Amino acid sequence: MSVSSESELATSHRIAAALKEDILAGKYPPGVRLRQEDVADQFGASRSPVREAFRMLEADGLVNLVAHTGAWIAQLSLAECEEMYQIRERIEPLLLRLSIPHLTKNKIDQLAELADKMEKNREIEVFLKLDREFHLLSYAGAETALLGEMVHRLWNTTQHYRRAYTRLLANDGFKPAHYEHHLLLSAILKNDVDDAERVLFGHIRRTRLELAQHPNVFPENKNKQKY
């Protein structure tokens, strides 16, 4: 998102990017331990860049580090996840507000396309991907340095739980989301930032309340279960 793409030469950045990909894809579920040497072997590198990569992932909120003990894939309790959603409710409407005035017609067309695709689609993984694309694209107009990164982090850390509860909802629970996406789109088309903020707030809030009704998605006792 930031420094990575341009000169992907640094080993530590490569490792961090690859691990991030895998974590977001659900390859490493929350609570799983990462051993430095394993990861180093996996990438054919020494442990030094792996340690740096762990620190980068920690900054992204994807990994928890404990001194002299190890690294674990970040795990959220229900309460923590609700907290993240409450933060999103407050922050993302702001980002959207800063973005809307600078959205090009091209991007708005893409948004419409994504909303339609999402509605026609029945695959969970595809929905997750399109939904993420849709929202992040709606923020693409914002010429913001730090807020954008912050929102990305929030999406990353909640990604796993979004997947889990999306699975539970199966396909019929998506209708409100689709409606909200279309409402958001029309607010954007009208350049009505206040309305867009309101719709987005409600969208995130509704998701939070639904998540809270599926506590089984979260670990019972949040002690680091090791292995």
Binding residues for its own copies, rule: CB under 8 A, are: 3, 7, 9-10, 13, 48, 51-52, 55-56, 58-59, 61, 65-68, 79-80, 83-84, 86-87, 90-91, 94, 144-147, 150
Any idea which residue has 């030094």 for tokens?
48
Q: In terms of CB distance, is 13 or 181 closer to its own copies? A: 13
What's the closest the beta carbon of residue 171 comes to its own copies, in angstroms?
Answer: 31
Partner touching 58 among DNA, its own copies, none, CB below 5 to 8 Å by kind: its own copies
Q: In terms of CB distance, is 10 or 137 closer to DNA? A: 10
CA distances to 20, 126, 174 from 119, rounded to whole Å, are 28, 11, 8
Six-digit token string for 60? 């992204």
C-alpha 161/C-alpha 96 separation (Å) is 23
Q: In terms of CB distance, is 69 or 104 closer to DNA? A: 69
| H or E stretch covering 120 | helix 105-120
Instruction: Please state the length of the chain.
Output: 227
Task: Report the sign of the C-alpha dihedral through residues 198, 203, 204, 208, in that order.
Answer: positive
What's the closest the beta carbon of residue 46 comes to DNA, in angstroms?
Answer: 3
Partner touching 171 among its own copies, DNA, none, CB below 5 to 8 Å by kind: none
What's the closest the beta carbon of residue 57 comes to DNA, in angstroms?
Answer: 13
Six-digit token string for 110? 């893409």
What's the closest the beta carbon of residue 53 comes to DNA, in angstroms?
Answer: 9
Q: In terms of CB distance, is 77 or 121 closer to its own copies? A: 77
**Cβ partners under 8 Å of residue 141, min gap 6:** 98, 99, 100, 101, 102, 103, 104, 107
What's the closest the beta carbon of residue 58 comes to DNA, in angstroms?
Answer: 11
Ranges within 12-31 binding DNA (CB under 7 A): 12
CA distances to 2, 52, 53 from 7, rounded to whole Å, are 11, 17, 16
C-alpha 25/C-alpha 28 separation (Å) is 8
| H or E stretch covering 5 | none
What is the arrangement of strands in the sheet containing 70-73, beginning at the earlier edge strand? 33-34, 70-73, 63-66
Among 28, 30, 49, 184, binds DNA (CB under 7 A): 49
Q: Does the protein bind DNA through residue 35 (CB under 7 A)?
A: yes
Q: In terms of CB distance, is 59 or 170 closer to its own copies? A: 59
Among 47, 132, 163, 178, binds DNA (CB under 7 A): 47
> What are the residues binding DNA (CB under 7 A)?
7, 9-12, 33-37, 45-49, 51-52, 65, 67-71, 226
